[in-house]
Amino acid sequence: MEDGVQNMENAKYYWYEGEKIYLEEIPEKEYVVFKKKDLQELSSLKSRSSSPLFKGEFQELKLTGIVLSDKAATEKDNIMWGITERNLKSAITGEIPAIIYKSPFYKSSLGEEIGISHLFYVKLKSEKDKDKLIELAIKNNVEIIGNNEFMPLWYTLSCDNESAGDALQLANEFYESSLFEFAEPDIIGNFAVNTNDTYFTKQWNLKGSNSINWVSAYALTQGANVKVAIIDTGIELLHPDLTNVMPAYDLVQGWWYATNIYNQHGTACAGIIGATANNNKGIAGIAPKVAIESYAHNFETQPNAGQQLASGIALASRSADVISCSWGGPTSSMITDAIRYDAGWGRNGKGTVVVFATGNDSRNRVSFPANCHSSVIAVGAIGQNGRRSSFSNYGTELDIVAPGEYIPTTDLLYGYGYDTSDYTMNFDGTSAACPHVAAVAALILSVNKNLTAQEVKDIIEKTAKKVDSYSYTTVSGRPNGTWNGEVGYGLVDAYNAVLEARRRL
């Protein structure tokens, strides 16, 4: 978006971490909300129209992660939503008066295509400010749906056609009132995953010149007594090489101990971290004796996804030492706040180690949430040749790189995953690089549980191997050695990281 558009007095925007993110309306797409009782009539209209829905069928609204008010709990199963082509708008609003909300899609100044749902989020400065929230909600005719189950100062509010504005306008009004710490609209964006053992000879990522120097680390520790939470698409619990996984929480359905698997991506990430080693089958995980907790999400374009993922991050920090996140998406103050909380309060005040993939857009810009907070370890990818992978995002917030091409790992059983066997030899992306670093963080903590999250990050950065073909310089704000914009501090080195952690005992 050009500066001229941004500076227009009527330019649309939302607030993220004290900065305006400007928006340009997209004429083709629209988000609509309606009552479930009108589904049949609306579906009939859709079938008669030459303009089909962009995304599947109309869907029920999932308000998971929220302690619902009595009214919201009663009505939650009666609300549906859809994403339509914009030229369906007049037909919908003309023939179905029960449409209770509509809003356009936008292109943000960050280059992302996003929608704005009928929801927006407000974080109180303290619980005593709830009366201020109620007063402003009544003034603007919006409903307080409830507060977040795991971050109780965050409240969800809902607009309809009778409200004083749409969710974008009202989120800005609440934030600009200075009464609250944060307020932002619910962004509908593409939260997406960044994609003597039988196959050990193929695991170039663990041994060799551009590997993570794992073999020597394995002789020192296998990651016992450490928990790693994987927030992803669910994990194949019956896989014979994944004997250390427990289901924790389904972030979409709001179910504890759920075994849902939305696709194969999470299983591939889990294998890199914790596949059983030396069992005469499959692959070797980097930290084969860790306990893995699975937090599952479908990563579909839908309302409330940002809150669901933020809930996962906040919830995981209650039990996990390390959180591995091979995904990214649009900005969310609630996700950033959850990460900020983990850094300060996880592990009884030592901080939970949070690891994110930098993204696969080939951009000189690390994607969100990897770029959102200094505590995050932002991981890019390299290939077997030691060069930055062409898809791997890089830039100012990049901390470290790890292998991210042709990585052997576990797959869904019975041919339902990437390949026809129970393993794949070709897991690619910063999605593959991220769990390498999460696993090394687990190895570090297994030999020294007293380290803070910041100290774990420092060790990973200070002990990184300087991969060839890149020049490294001293950079302000980068205290752990020389750094390069394409590969960060260099390639994660499991063995030397473990040695440094032991030295600090």
Annotated catalytic residue, options 166, 197, 232, 337 = 232
Annotated catalytic residue, options 431, 436, 446, 493 = 431
Query: From CA 266, how far away is CA 194, in angstroms rounded?
Result: 11
Query: From CA 69, how far away is CA 144, in angstroms rounded?
Result: 8
Query: From CA 424, how far away is CA 102, in angstroms rounded?
Result: 43
Contact 122, 157 (CB under 8 A): yes
Taking the CA atoms of residue 194, residue 195, residue 196 and residue 200 in that order, the dihedral angle to the nearest 10 degrees is -110
The SS3 call for residue 342 is helix
Catalytic residue check, 232: yes
Query: From CA 439, how far away is CA 223, in angstroms rounded?
Result: 8
Query: 331-347: buried (b, 16+ CB within 10 Å) or exposed (e) per residue?
Result: bbbbbbbbbbbbbeebb
| CA nearest neighbour of 502 among 464, 451, 448, 453 | 448
- Residue 485 corresponds to which amino acid? G
Catalytic residue check, 250: no
The SS3 call for residue 485 is coil
Catalytic residue check, 431: yes
Tokens of 291: 């306990």
Tokens of 286: 């980097």
Alpha helix segments (H runs only) across 346-493 = 430-447, 453-462
Measured CA angle at 344 (ends 396, 355), to 5 deg: 45
Q: List, as one string, the DSSP characters of 91-104.
A: HHHHH-TT--EEEE
Query: From CA 84, how far away is CA 157, in angstroms rounded?
Result: 23
- Residue 222 corresponds to which amino acid? Q
Tokens 């440094």 sit at which residue?
500
| CA nearest neighbour of 438 among 241, 246, 227, 243 | 227
Tokens of 379: 């991981």
| CA nearest neighbour of 292 among 349, 219, 227 | 227
Tokens of 225: 């007594």
Catalytically annotated residues: 232, 265, 431
